[in-house]
């Protein structure tokens, strides 16, 4: 499915269904998508929790889907093209972009 169509389809889904749909992605792509969203909230977490999260194996990220659900709901407020572009950005670039005002 093209990125634009996928993003458009995701907007209609509740957060849980959106998270469920992500299971079809390869583990490393899912890890990158979750890490990018988690980095947006990273400043609220203690440093040792962040360090531990980076050490988690890919299968442990399945639990992180529950943490990402509310962030995904927020992400649906972003324009579709921004969401599609975010998938292609590395996590640190996406985290930096979250600090910039949305145009």
Asked if pLDDT for residue 38 goes beyond 50, the answer is: yes
Is 10 domain-assigned? yes
Tokens of 49: 């929790």
Residue of 89, 103, 101 whose CA lies nearest to 39: 89
Is 81 domain-assigned? yes
**Sole residue written with tokens 């209609």:** 12
**Domain that includes residue 70, residue range:** 3-94
Is the distance from CB of 81 to CB of 4 less than 8 angstroms?
yes
pLDDT at position 12, please?
Answer: 53
Is 101 domain-assigned? no
What does the pLDDT average to over 93-99?
A: 55
Asked if pLDDT for residue 86 goes beyond 60, the answer is: no
Average per-residue pLDDT for the chain: 55
Is 100 domain-assigned? no
Tally the C-alpha atoms within 13 A of residue 95's C-alpha that lie toward its C-beta: 14
What does the pLDDT average to over 40-61?
A: 53
Tokens of 56: 């988690």
pLDDT at position 103, please?
Answer: 44
What does the pLDDT average to over 49-76?
A: 52
Count of structural domains, the chain: 1
* pLDDT band at 4; cut points 50, 70, 90: low
Asked if pLDDT for residue 8 goes beyond 50, the answer is: yes
In the chain, % of residues over pLDDT 70: 0
């Amino acid at each position: 499915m093209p990125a634009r169509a996928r993003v458009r389809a995701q907007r209609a889904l509740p957060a849980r269904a959106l998270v469920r749909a992500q299971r079809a992605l390869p583990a490393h792509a899912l890890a990158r998508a979750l890490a990018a969203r988690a980095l947006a909230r990273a400043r609220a977490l203690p440093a040792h929790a962040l360090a531990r999260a980076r050490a988690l194996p890919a299968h442990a990220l399945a639990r992180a889907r529950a943490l990402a659900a509310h962030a995904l709901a927020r992400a649906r407020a972003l324009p579709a093209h921004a969401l599609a572009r975010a998938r292609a950005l590395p996590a640190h670039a996406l985290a930096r972009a979250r600090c910039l005002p949305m145009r």
